[in-house]
């Protein structure tokens, strides 16, 4: 190879590396810890198919997710609750137009310790337990044992949804144990014989008993049919209509394959 | 040349030293800026002495008294454990232990300080809490007692190593004088060494308390998280640090809730500041008394 030929090769190599750097696109996703496993899994599969896309997925909570859309620090903001009016106003003042994409459904399961003989509660009973009217399992037909009420910290999206759907926004008794994650609630209920708690349907495992709410057991069918009342949509927010690779990613999650991933991580896909 | 080089070094290290001052001013500045508005919006008295913490309801309640009470409650419990063990350990190492025991014990205690707090938290959640639950037949093991036990363990190395340093500073001549007067080892220890090292030991205890008050991860995991004023040592509680850690991620930036969390941080900062000032004053007094210079 001549000297100029080698030089040419070198230039070409450098240029090709630069072009990878220039054309590699990145997506930043932040927000709800509930949506996190979906975003994470979908990002892995999406990047396998699209080597030139780099997706970073972070948690932080629904508030962080929406704030990052408003601040422009993320391309996609995950949220387990719809955007609040206050947040909408803030977005408007910055010229940001948050657009919601429903990517999955989540059922909130009410769980008790496996040794508990209670198989179901009415929504009213759940409300009475969480607001402090009923303090013993005997009040709902169980043993004379103190109920250990376990809730999520009052800023979490799961709490907000449970509070709205199950408690009608009533205040949780102040002596309820507040845990900081779904997993922590699950672990505490699994270790505490008198406990009652609630977690996303995807987190339920055999270490606890999920109970019927108003006679309906939480499952994919009952959530999609609307029979199970403690269910909510999960969102991804973008600033305006998504474009380019962000649109591709959201379309991917909504596709058959994406919805299968949603079910893999324990949530409820929107397709039958 | 060497003078020039010295000047450059002076400048570099000067900048480095002032960098921490800059961080300090920056952090306190942000704490005040973000935290102060809540006192205007809610009222300082209502904020500090309010009994209910319902930050996300309509209308919200921003009373942090249960959180302050919980912090002091579990810190007090932790000190009941850490002071005897920490100071006792220091006395043993300094006065009784053979040099072999000393060479073995000191690194072990210092190693205890190096365990990350999340490991203490996991240990507490998975082993200590279920054990205490069975042992005392309490409804739930995540409570003030468990938190105190773990915080106590975590404060031992701080107290032990600073107290040991203080004992080390007591001049040999004090003890020799005591022995010369016919006092035995116990009398020398209680009448001479401990009083001489007293303010140094107090410094150790106060710094240990500061450690316990500021600890976050462990209490978030094992204290239970109920925002009520504790009535029993087996009540679940929610210290100030755990509240900030659990809720900051979900609070809407700039909202009252956000301000309230910063204000909790501000109050925590002021508490630890007071503790550090007391510790500093005591330590000065100690050094002066033993003629060690300031």
B24 in any annotated domain: no
B20 in any annotated domain: no
Q: Does A145 lie in the same domain as A93?
A: no
The answer to whether B238 faces chain A, any CB pair under 8 Å, is yes
Nearest CB among A154, A184, A188 relative to B54 is that of A154
Q: Does A256 lie in the same domain as A168?
A: no
Q: Does A84 lie in the same domain as A31?
A: yes
Q: Does A239 lie in the same domain as A199?
A: no
Q: Does A118 lie in the same domain as A221?
A: yes
Q: Does A76 lie in the same domain as A22?
A: yes
B84: distance to nearest CA of chain A, Å?
A: 31
The answer to whether B246 faces chain A, any CB pair under 8 Å, is yes
For B68-79, write each residue's pLDDT tens digit.
999 999 999 999
Q: Please list every residue in chain B whose beta carbon sits closer than 8 Å to the beta carbon of residue A187.
A: 125
A271 in any annotated domain: no
A270 in any annotated domain: no
Q: Does A239 lie in the same domain as A172?
A: no
Q: What's the domain count of chain B? A: 1
Q: Does A90 lie in the same domain as A127?
A: no
A218 in any annotated domain: yes
A60 in any annotated domain: yes
Task: Tell me which residue range forms the domain holding A10.
Answer: 3-105+233-264
Nearest CB among A59, A62, A192 relative to B139 is that of A192
B8 in any annotated domain: no
Max alpha carbon distance in chain B (Å)?
Answer: 75
Exposure of B157 in the CB half-sphere (CA atoms within 13 A): 13
Nearest CB among A86, A179, A192 relative to B255 is that of A86
Residues 6+ apart with CB under 8 A from A151: A130, A159, A162, A172, A176, A177, A178, A179, A185, A197, A198
Q: Does A166 lie in the same domain as A146?
A: yes
Does the reported pTM lie above 0.80?
no
Q: What angle do CA A90, A93, A95 make, to 5 degrees?
A: 110
Residue B158: pLDDT band with limits 50, 70, 90? very high
Question: Residue A174's domain is classified under what CATH number?
Answer: 3.40.190.10
B274 in any annotated domain: yes
- Sort A139 into a burial class: Cβ within 10 Å, 0-12 / 13-18 / 19+: middle
The answer to whether B59 faces chain A, any CB pair under 8 Å, is no
Residue A8: pLDDT band with limits 50, 70, 90? low
Q: Does A217 lie in the same domain as A238?
A: no
Question: Residue B103's domain is classified under what CATH number?
Answer: 1.10.3720.10
* pLDDT (0 to 100) of residue A15: 53
The answer to whether B105 faces chain A, any CB pair under 8 Å, is no
B22 in any annotated domain: no
pLDDT surpassing 60 at residue A21:
no
Task: Tell me which residue range forms the domain holding B280.
Answer: 36-289
B29 in any annotated domain: no
Q: What's the domain count of chain A? A: 2
Whether the CB-CB separation of A152 and A178 falls below 8 Å is answered with: yes
ipTM over 0.95: no
Q: Does A172 lie in the same domain as A90?
A: no
Q: Please list every residue in chain B whose beta carbon sits closer than 8 Å to the beta carbon of residue A178.
A: 225-227, 238, 246
B31 in any annotated domain: no
pLDDT surpassing 80 at residue A19:
no
């Amino acid at each position: 190879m001549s000297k100029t030929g080698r030089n040419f090769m070198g230039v070409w190599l450098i240029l090709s590396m630069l072009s990878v750097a220039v054309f590699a696109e990145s997506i930043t996703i932040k927000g709800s810890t509930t949506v996190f496993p979906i975003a994470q899994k979908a990002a892995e599969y999406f990047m396998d198919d699209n080597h030139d896309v780099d997706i970073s997925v972070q948690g932080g909570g629904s508030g962080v997710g929406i704030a990052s859309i408003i601040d422009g620090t993320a391309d996609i903001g995950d949220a387990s609750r719809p955007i609040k009016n206050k947040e909408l106003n803030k977005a408007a003042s910055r010229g940001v137009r948050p657009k919601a994409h429903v990517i999955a459904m989540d059922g909130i399961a009410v769980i008790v310790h496996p040794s508990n003989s209670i198989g179901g509660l009415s929504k009213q009973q759940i409300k009475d337990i969480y607001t402090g009217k009923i303090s013993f399992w005997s009040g709902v037909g169980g043993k004379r044992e103190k109920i250990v009420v376990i809730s999520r910290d009052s800023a979490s999206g799961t709490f907000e949804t449970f509070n709205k759907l199950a408690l009608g926004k009533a205040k949780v008794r102040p002596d309820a144990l507040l845990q900081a994650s779904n997993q922590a609630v699950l672990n505490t209920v699994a270790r505490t014989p008198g406990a009652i708690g609630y977690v996303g349907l995807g987190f339920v495992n055999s270490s606890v008993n999920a109970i019927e709410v108003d006679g309906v057991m939480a499952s994919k069918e009952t959530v999609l049919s609307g029979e199970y009342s403690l269910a909510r949509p999960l969102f991804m927010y973008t600033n305006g209509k998504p474009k380019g690779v962000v649109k591709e990613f959201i379309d991917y999650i909504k596709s058959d394959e994406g919805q299968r991933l949603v079910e893999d991580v324990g949530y409820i896909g929107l397709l039958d | 040349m060497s003078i020039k080089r010295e000047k450059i070094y002076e400048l570099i290290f000067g900048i480095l030293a002032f960098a921490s001052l800059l961080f300090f001013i920056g952090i306190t500045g942000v704490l005040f800026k973000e935290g102060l508005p809540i006192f205007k919006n809610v009222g300082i008295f209502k904020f500090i002495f309010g009994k209910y913490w319902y930050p996300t309801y309509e209308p919200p309640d921003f009373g942090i008294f249960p959180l302050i009470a919980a912090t002091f409650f579990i810190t007090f419990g932790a000190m009941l454990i850490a002071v005897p063990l920490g100071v006792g350990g220091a006395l043993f190492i300094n006065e009784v232990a053979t040099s072999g025991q000393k060479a073995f014990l000191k690194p072990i205690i210092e190693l205890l300080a190096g365990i990350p707090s999340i490991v203490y938290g996991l240990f507490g959640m998975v082993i200590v809490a279920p054990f205490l639950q069975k042992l005392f037949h309490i409804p739930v093991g995540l409570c003030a007692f468990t938190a105190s036990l773990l915080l106590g363990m975590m404060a031992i190395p701080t107290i032990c190593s600073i107290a040991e340093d203080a004992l080390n500073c007591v001049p040999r001549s004090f003890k020799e004088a005591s022995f010369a007067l016919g006092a035995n080892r116990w009398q020398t220890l209680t009448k001479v060494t401990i009083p001489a090292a007293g303010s140094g030991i107090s410094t150790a205890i106060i710094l240990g308390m500061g450690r316990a008050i500021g600890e976050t991860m462990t209490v978030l995991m094992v204290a239970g998280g109920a925002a009520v004023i504790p009535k029993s040592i087996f009540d679940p509680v929610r210290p100030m640090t755990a509240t900030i850690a659990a809720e900051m991620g979900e609070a809407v930036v700039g909202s009252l809730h956000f301000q309230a969390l910063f204000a909790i941080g501000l109050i925590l900062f002021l508490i630890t500041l007071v503790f550090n000032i007391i510790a500093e004053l005591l330590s000065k007094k100690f050094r002066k008394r033993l003629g060690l210079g300031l």
